[in-house]
């Protein structure tokens, strides 16, 4: 028997109950939420006065199952701002439905955040990119959403957001401008990129033919996350900034095939994570609550 998609998911009251439960475990009241991608959770180590809440301690919360995603919320101060970091996100390929993948964004909104920063490890599709580049997300292509797996499918509660939200301008122009200026000041100009991120379902990495297709569609980088979280953030009125660490280059030719592994992704993530953390930290310092 098929599941009635109009009846599944978390209600508005469910989300607020979870948020209230989590806030009882910390002294902090965050205004900025940060989702850490594969191998990029080290930003949480820079938080002052940290309160740590493990996912398994939170009622109705999913559990992260992927290497490089520890599975905890870290509350505290970063560059003078009160933040909450997700050290470990959820993915569609883990078997979670889309509405559960992005549920933490709604919880963070209910806890009081007004800005969401999403980071990820991605494969480079633009042949002008290099492994180790940092790509600011100008836009995205929601491939699962275009093929029937949009994160907002199901009954809509107007208290979350409108039934038919516009996703133009999902990534905040002012935050993009600030991040680009910060990157130049830090000397990251040679590795800074700006482009379009496309989400695939995973967990398989792309074939040569698939990489060519995604590139022809206008994507500069590809990954298995971020878009559901960004769409839900836009739906509920949050400002969003996204950035990818290009951890590998996708193969666009059969003559030079690169068989990507998750271990390689984590290795590059660890190598360049410090630069990404510095950029995000400086950006947080400039965000107006």
Over residues 136-164, the pLDDT tens digits come to 999 999 999 999 999 999 999 999 999 99
Q: Which residues of 224-241 are buried (b: 16+ CB within 10 A; e: fewer)?
A: bbbbbbbbbbbbbebbbb
pLDDT band at residue 41 under the 50/70/90 scheme: confident
* Residue 117 backbone dihedrals phi, psi, to 5 degrees: -110, 125
CA dist., res. 167 & res. 236, Å (int): 11
Domains and CATH numbers, the chain: 12-286 (3.40.50.1580)
pTM for the predicted model, two decimal places: 0.93
Determine the pLDDT at residue 171: 98
Q: What is the mean pLDDT of residues 251-269?
A: 72
* Residue 212 backbone dihedrals phi, psi, to 5 degrees: -60, -45
Give residue for tokens 């101060």.
77
Q: What is the pLDDT of residues 56-80, one digit of tens each?
A: 999 888 877 766 557 899 999 999 9
């Amino acid at each position: 028997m098929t599941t009635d998609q109009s009846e599944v998911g978390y209600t508005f009251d469910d989300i607020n109950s979870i948020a209230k439960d989590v806030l009882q475990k910390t002294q902090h009241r965050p205004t900025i939420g940060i989702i850490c991608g594969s191998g990029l959770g080290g930003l949480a180590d820079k938080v002052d006065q940290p309160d740590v809440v493990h996912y398994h301690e939170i009622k109705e919360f999913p559990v992260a199952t992927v290497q490089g995603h520890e599975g905890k919320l870290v509350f505290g101060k970063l560059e003078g701002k009160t933040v909450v970091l997700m050290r470990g996100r959820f993915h569609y390929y883990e078997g979670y439905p889309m509405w559960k993948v992005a549920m933490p964004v709604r919880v963070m909104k209910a806890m009081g955040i007004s800005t969401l920063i999403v980071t990820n490890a991605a494969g480079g599709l633009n042949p002008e990119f290099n492994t180790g580049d940092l790509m600011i997300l100008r836009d995205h292509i929601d491939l699962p959403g275009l093929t029937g797996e949009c994160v907002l499918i199901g009954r809509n509660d107007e208290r979350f957001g409108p039934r038919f939200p516009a996703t133009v301008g999902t990534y905040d122009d002012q935050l993009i401008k600030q991040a680009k200026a910060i990157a130049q000041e830090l000397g990251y100009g040679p590795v800074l990129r700006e482009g379009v991120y496309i989400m695939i379902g995973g967990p398989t990495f792309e074939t040569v033919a698939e990489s060519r297709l995604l590139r022809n569609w206008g994507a500069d980088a590809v990954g298995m996350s971020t878009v559901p979280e960004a769409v839900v953030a836009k739906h509920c009125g949050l400002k969003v900034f996204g950035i990818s660490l290009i951890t590998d280059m996708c193969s666009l030719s059969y003559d030079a095939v690169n068989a990507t592994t998750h271990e390689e992704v984590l290795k590059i993530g660890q190598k360049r994570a410090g630069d990404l953390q510095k950029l995000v930290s400086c950006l947080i310092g400039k965000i107006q609550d």
